[in-house]
Amino acid sequence: MSASLVDILAPRLAPLDLDHRLRLVREVIPGRIIFTTSFGVEDQFITHSIFTQGLDIDVVTIDTGRLFPETYALWERTEARYSHHIRAACPQAAATETLVAEQGINGFYKSIDARKACCHARKVEPLGRLLDGVSGWVTGLRADQSDARAKVEIIAFDAGYRTLKINPVIDYTRDAIVAATEEFSVPVNELHAKGFLSIGCAPCTRAIAPGESERAGRWWWEQDQKKECGLHVTADGVLKRGPAPQETL
């Protein structure tokens, strides 16, 4: 009987911890699997699990060219800690040059459309290259990061990128992840201790104030509460990208 990998894996993944979730994903899903890290605390937790278990999951990142110095320093510390290099995809030079020529170096502050154009050139297009031909995409999405992300499943089919999308810490709390990083001496971004709970590009991220949501510091000058750059959403801002094709397990 034919059934989708999503339907079969979702109930099997749900009761497991992170290590066993990643192990099951690697055992069941054929082909290349990648994990895209932005070096946030949840991403560091996942990176630790992948590297310490020796899983055949590629850990990759997007270097937008506008990251915090602290993020680059953490990148280096992470490679040293686990003796692995983390491959990066960078924006296309021609697209970046055109973007800056058209809107100026910090033109993204002028409008939501300008900001989304910058995110597309520096993040979304490089992600498309990273995901080309992969069978599975592991992310660090958590349900408690935002109201929109609360609706995300542990595994789904991303019709936009034509790949299975696995969110192995979707039901973890930030506090649980922080506790795990402390227990296992996982390196984390120094900015977290300064109130930067969700860290992206330096010009687009600020520390949050007490009582603010975790992602309030992202694109803080905008009123849109969805706070997404386009990596995980469709053009209309929807996080879910369609039904899974039918596969035989």
Q: Distance between terminal CA atoms of the chain?
A: 9
Of 118, 119, 201, 229, which residue is the catalytic one? 229
- The whole-angstrom separation of Cα 82 and Cα 201 is 25
Check if 229 is active-site.
yes
Strand arrangement, sheet containing 58-62? 87-89, 58-62, 33-37, 136-138, 163-166, 155-158
Q: Are 239 and 233 in contact (CB under 8 A)?
A: yes
Tokens of 18: 């992170």
3-state secondary structure of 115: helix
Q: Are 57 and 167 in contact (CB under 8 A)?
A: no
Q: Helix 41-53 and helix 69-82: axis angle, to 10°?
A: 20
Known catalytic residues are 229
